Structure 1
Amino acid sequence: MYLTLLFFHSATRWLLLFALIYTVYSAFAGYTKGNRFTNADNAWRHWTATIAHIQLVLGMLVYTQSPTAKFSLNAIGGNGHIREPFFFGVMHLILMLTAIIVLTIGSAMAKRKATDAKKFKTILIWFGLALLIILIAIPWPFSPVVQRPYIRTLQSTNILL
């Protein structure tokens, strides 16, 4: 169960990143060019937020099933680096929750804006900030804090978060 959840959480990351990058790019283009806010733009706003919420649910399920990602304030390991339980149990958790909250607020605010330019600007700012937070909190293979592969597999040898 845990490996399956971890696989889907890892795979959904790419779907969310694609949707976020496209939505931020589209909002930037729409705002700078003075485009009309279309139903397609609204659908991208809505589905990006929906994918983010699905990713949040998957992340919470992974968190509750994980043998290592428990809330731990024991931050520094023997080598002076941040320990994995602190990264996944505190940093990753708090940053990703913050990103989803920012994205949700931005989505709700954009939906209620009166003009097309204000809708694009709101999405650009709020979704852009959420994207930045997410990019910081992902355990990339090249991260100096905690490294994980780009794509998870269902192999049991890959059990660590």
Structure 2
Amino acid sequence: MYNLILPLHSLVRWLVLISLLAAIFRSYQGWLGRKAYSKFDERLRVVTVTILHIQFVLGLWLYAISPITTWFIHHFSEGVRMREIRFFGMEHITMMTIAVMLITIGASKAKRQIGDVNKFRTQAIWFTIGLLVILSSIPWAFSPLVHRPWLRAF
């Protein structure tokens, strides 16, 4: 199961980033351009949050079955001193949980705002903060600290 969930989690990461960037772009465009919050913007918000939640569930599932996190949980005092093990056992899941919470709160707040500019502004701010947290917590291929391939094969 691990060999299926890990590449799936790697693939869905790109869907999260693409949809989040699109939603943020539209949000700033609508906010600064004082545009109407359209049905497309509503659907984009819902699709972005849905993809994010799917990725989060995949990540939780991966956390539960990963040999790295299993080792971390059973050898916490050693694992917390090992950069890569600590990253996947503690840092990655914590930061991604925070990012999911920020984006979910932002989507919920934006939905309830009165006025199109307020919807766009709320969504732009919360989604941007969430994106920054996500970007800081992905094990990028170029990272000198913890790195993984751009995309894992099935």
Normalising by structure 1, report the TM-score.
Answer: 0.89
Alpha-carbon distance between aligned partners in 2 of 1:144 and 1:108, rounded to the nearest angstrom: 36
Q: Deviations over 1:57-90 (max 9, x none)?
A: 000111111001244453334xxxx2x2200011
Please list every run of 5 or more consecutive structure 1 residues that lacks an aligned counterpart in the other structure. Answer: 155-161
Verify: 1:130 aligned to 2:130, yes or no: yes
For 2:56 and 2:97, locate their aligned partners in 1 and report how far apart those are by CA, in whole Å: 8
Alpha-carbon offset, residue 144 of structure 1: 2.0
Q: CA deviation at 1:153?
A: 1.2
| Correspondence 1:75 to 2:80 | yes
2: CA distance between counterparts of 1:98 and 1:145?
21
Residues 9-48 of structure 1, C-alpha deviation per residue, up to 9 Å, x if partnerless? 0000000000000100110011111100001001111110
Mapped pair 1:121 → 2:126: no
- Where does residue 99 of structure 1 map in the other structure? 99
**Partners of 2:9 and 2:65 in 1: how far apart?**
13
Gaps of 5+ in 2: none
Q: How does 1:31-110 map to 2 (within 5 A)?
A: 31-69=31-69, 70-71=72-73, 72=76, 74-77=79-82, 82=83, 84-110=84-110
* Distance (Å, rounded) in 1 between the aligned partners of 2:80 and 2:92: 13
In structure 1, C-alpha distance between the alignment counterparts of 2:144 and 2:130, rounded to whole Å: 21
**For the residues of structure 1 that align with 2:33 and 2:63, how far apart are their CA atoms?**
42
How far the C-alpha of 1:145 sits from its partner, in A, is 1.6
Letter in 2 for 1:142: F
Provide the rounded CA distance (Å) in 2 between the counterparts of 1:28 and 1:100: 20
Specify the SS of the correspondent of 1:68.
helix
* Counterparts of 2:48 and 2:57, CA distance in 1: 14
Query: Which structure has greater helix proportion?
Result: 2
1:21 aligned partner, one-letter code: L
- In 1: Cα distance, 2:114 partner to 2:23 partner: 19
Matched, 1:27 2:27: yes
Could you tell me how far apart the structure 1 residues matched to 2:144 and 2:97 are? 22
SS in 1 for 2:67: coil
- 1: CA distance, partners of 2:143 / 2:128: 21
